[in-house]
């Protein structure tokens, strides 16, 4: 299986996927850490994939999304954005709304 097929499978098989540097338990960059904190605050279940484990994955996700930076968040198969976009959406309440509209559980008190 090629890297594009692997990414496609992960994005389609999981409601929320975060391609990040490190893991949700141990982020390896500040931007990935910020997105992890936001997702954990929302209480949304997600899968974190460490792009540092594979050059193919790190480069492949950038090609797949046509987005140059990591982290990258996908919700229900759709690319949402990187750290700045996720942070802005969260602060505006848009990320919470998106998750709820997609039928994903969000903590009742999950405000910015």
Give the tens place of pLDDT for each residue, 34-80: 999 999 999 999 999 999 999 999 999 999 999 999 999 999 999 99
pLDDT at 110: 64
Q: What residue ranges define each of the domains in the chain, with the CATH number in brackets?
A: 3-101 (3.40.30.10)
pLDDT at 112: 61
C-alpha triplet 13, 15, 19: angle, nearest 5°: 85
For the chain, what percent of residues have pLDDT higher than 70?
97
For residues 1-11, average pLDDT: 95
Average pLDDT, the chain: 95
pLDDT at 94: 96
Query: What is the Cα 38 distance to its own chain's centre?
Result: 10
pLDDT at 102: 94
Asked if residues 35 and 20 have their Cβ atoms less than 8 Å apart, the reply is: yes
Q: CB 89: neighbour CB atoms within 10 A? A: 20
């Amino acid at each position: 299986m090629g890297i594009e097929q692997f990414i496609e499978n992960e994005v389609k098989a999981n409601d929320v996927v975060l391609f990040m540097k490190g893991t949700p338990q141990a982020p390896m960059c500040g931007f990935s850490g910020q997105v992890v904190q936001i997702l954990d605050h929302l209480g949304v279940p997600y899968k974190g994939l460490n792009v540092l484990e594979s050059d193919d994955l790190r480069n492949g996700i950038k090609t797949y999304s046509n987005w140059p930076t990591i982290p990258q968040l996908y919700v229900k198969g759709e690319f949402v954005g990187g750290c700045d976009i996720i942070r802005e959406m969260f602060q505006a309440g848009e990320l919470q709304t998106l998750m709820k509209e997609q039928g994903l559980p969000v903590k009742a008190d999950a405000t910015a």
